Copies of this chain bind each other. A is one copy, B any other.
Amino acid sequence: MATKENLAGAFAGESQANRKYLAFAKQAEKDGYPQVAKLFRAAAHAETVHAHAHLRAMGGINNTLENLKAAVAGEGFEFETMYPPYLAEAQQEGNKPAEISFRNALAVEKVHYDLYNAALESVQGGSDLAARPVYVCEVCGHTVYDQAQDKCEVCGAVKDRFTLID
């Protein structure tokens, strides 16, 4: 069953390549290379095709009820098990950028955990969530319903750093 692990490894690799290329595309725009930026965006799009094909082949996409259970489990692992020691070690090592990055993520995964649990409860009852706008803070990822916060309660960013999700 090497293939099962190979699919997981390939999904991990394709996922990270996509995120890197999107970051590299933004940097290429800044550096004055718009066509190189476009090439990075194109390859990022291709890595999305690969990541989703691998995820499908490994049975990682199920119905929404099962997908929400997987999402709740993933968020729970991140804020309860993964991020607390990462944060403590970054503080011990005096690595301030890492400390901030881990603290923001930890706080936001707890929010996601609660939001996904509410969604799970709704879907278990056979209903969609009520239709409401959702906003995300571009600095820390904080995820809120209805309206942007005047001052992000996770990172302190101002209101216009929130993005309305389509």
- Which residues on A are within 8 Å of B, measured CB to CB? 1-3, 6-7, 9-24, 27-28, 31-36, 38-43, 45-58, 60-64, 67-68, 70-71, 74, 78, 82-83, 85-86, 89-90, 93, 95, 97-98, 100-102, 104-105, 108, 112, 115-116, 119, 122-123, 128-132, 134-143, 163, 165-166
Least Cβ distance of A17 to chain B in Å?
6
Q: How often does this chain occur in the complex, in copies?
A: 2
* B141 pairs with A33, CB closer than 8 A: no
Please determine whether B128 and A34 come into contact, CB atoms closer than 8 angstroms: yes
A134–B38 contact, CB under 8 A?
yes
Q: Is A36 in contact with B136, judged by CB distance below 8 angstroms? A: no
Distance (Å) between the CB of A158 and the closest chain B CB? 16
Task: Find out whether the CB atom of B82 lies under 8 angstroms from the CB atom of A129.
Answer: no
When distances are taken between beta carbons in the complex, the residues of chain B under 8 Å from A27 are 61-64, 67
A104 to B37, CA, bound (A): 24
